[in-house]
Structure 1
Amino acid sequence: MAEQTKIADPGPLGLAGFGITTCILSLINAGVISAGALGVVLGLALAYGGGAQFIAGMWEFRKGNTFGATAFSSYGAFWIAFYFIEKAAPPAGLGVFLLFFGILTLFLWIGTFYLNRALFFVFLTLWLAFFLLAFHGFGVMGSQPGGWVGLICGLTALYTSFATVINATAGKTILPLGRPVARS
């Protein structure tokens, strides 16, 4: 009988790639740092937010985690697409792009009701940020509200990544992730 090889949890890698890329872009959207820093975001969007997150999604497929596979693969692809379209797309086109990722995120947020509270808040703030930034793309409002909500989202994703790594390394709960919102 073949020996079963255990693989590490790819979730923290995906959350870290998402969190760092989201935080830096959100600081630009919130007006905290100059739009001239967008080159940093684009590099991260391709390599870390896109590439590493997409790979994490593929490993989630291997683990049999449908939610993680869908989320990480989708947001990895989002960041790769963002790299290619950010400067080329008209604002309304970027608004439609963000709107549909907001809809996807709203649906995935419902799935987090059965996961932990940390992921619940990551996805709650993410769909809100997507909708706010889509409204910015449509010329309805400035980017600042979406930037601030996105920053909260990115920081929450980084906390969730860090807590998962620390808890797995320690073999016990050091940093809480919270119980699911809905009981199965």
Structure 2
Amino acid sequence: MSKEEKGWANAAPAGLVGLAVACFCFFALLGGRVEHSCLPLLGCWLIGGALVQYTVAIVEYKEGAITGGNIFLVFAAFFMMVSGLEMIFKYLALAQGWPAIDSRIDGYAWMSLWICIWLMTPAYFKSPVLMTVLIVGIDIGVPIVSLHDLGLISNDYLGIASYAFLGAGICGLYISGATVLNAEYGKTVLPLPGPLFREKTIVVQSGPIKESLI
């Protein structure tokens, strides 16, 4: 074992894979490519993703990454765990003939997440541009799901959300693979385009101040 203590490895790639799994599944569900009988299975996948993203959030917090830590924790709790449990519950309620559930409450919950993601999106403008594209995909999909659950828009709009989530999932997989390969080989194996906005360092040269007596 090395005497030099090493820091924690970057766990974000695992979190992005968990996000991609959810996005691909939502693409299939919202786009009508699978039947709603799949809900219990989808719920299991989302709960698994929640465990991954919760772990990633802890690592991100430990490394001082305020944006990544908070986003992954929110995604783990609400997008993954709550959604997964709800899907299993709703399926059982329908299968067992339980009293009807007013699921419009989900629309209000999704609305708060929608506002949260929109407010935090600019923080990702300093990340690789593909991460920004990923977040924009989520920015498109979440409002549509919220408005649909509130009963304000029809099922026709769910197709737009499905493709937005698919795009986000594809970006997540690419970023995940590129991050791992580039770090492992110590060089660019898969390129990651730079951020939209780069930080500029302004160097101010200071010298002795000369005072003139007039």
Using the size of structure 1 for normalisation, the TM-score is 0.91
Point out 4+ residue stretches in structure 1 off by more than 4 angstroms.
none
Match for residue 59 of structure 1? Answer: 59
Q: Distance in 2 between matches of 1:152 and 1:38?
A: 22
Matches within 5 A, 1:3-152: 3-47=4-48, 49-78=49-78, 79-86=80-87, 87=90, 90-139=102-151, 140-142=153-155, 143-152=158-167
CA contact (8 A) 1:95 1:138 kept: yes
Q: Distance in 2 between matches of 1:136 and 1:177?
A: 35
CA contact (8 A) 1:27 1:148 kept: no
Q: Distance in 1 between matches of 2:197 and 2:4?
A: 36
Q: Is it true that 1:159 corresponds to 2:166 in the alignment? A: no
Letter in 1 for 2:180: V
Q: Distance in 2 between matches of 1:62 and 1:134?
A: 32
CA contact (8 A) 2:178 2:189 kept: yes
Residue 108 of structure 1 and its aligned partner are, at CA, apart by 2.1
The C-alpha deviation readout for 1:114-166, integer Å capped at 9, x for no partner, is 11111101111101100111121122121222122111111211111111112
Match for residue 168 of structure 1? Answer: 183
Deviates more, 1:52-61 or 1:91-100: 91-100
Q: Distance in 2 between matches of 1:161 and 1:145?
A: 24
Identify the structure with the greater helix proportion.
1
Q: Distance in 2 between matches of 1:99 and 1:144?
A: 19
Unpaired stretches in structure 1, ≥5 consecutive residues:
none
Q: Distance in 1 between matches of 2:169 and 2:37?
A: 20
Q: Distance in 2 between matches of 1:156 and 1:177?
A: 11
Whose Rg is larger? 2
Letter in 1 for 2:185: A
CA contact (8 A) 1:53 1:73 kept: yes
Residue 57 of structure 1 and its aligned partner are, at CA, apart by 0.5
Residue 3 of structure 1 and its aligned partner are, at CA, apart by 4.2
Deviates more, 1:8-17 or 1:147-156: 147-156
CA contact (8 A) 1:26 1:147 kept: yes
Q: Distance in 1 between matches of 2:41 and 2:184?
A: 31
Figure out how many residues of one structure are paired with residues of the other and give that number: 182
Q: Distance in 2 between matches of 1:159 and 1:38?
A: 27
Deviates more, 1:119-128 or 1:27-36: 27-36
The C-alpha deviation readout for 1:71-125, integer Å capped at 9, x for no partner, is 1111011111112334276332121222211111112211001111111011111
Q: Over aligned residue pairs, what C-alpha RMSD do you find? A: 1.7
Percentage identity across paired residues of the two chains: 23
Unpaired stretches in structure 2, ≥5 consecutive residues:
94-100, 200-214
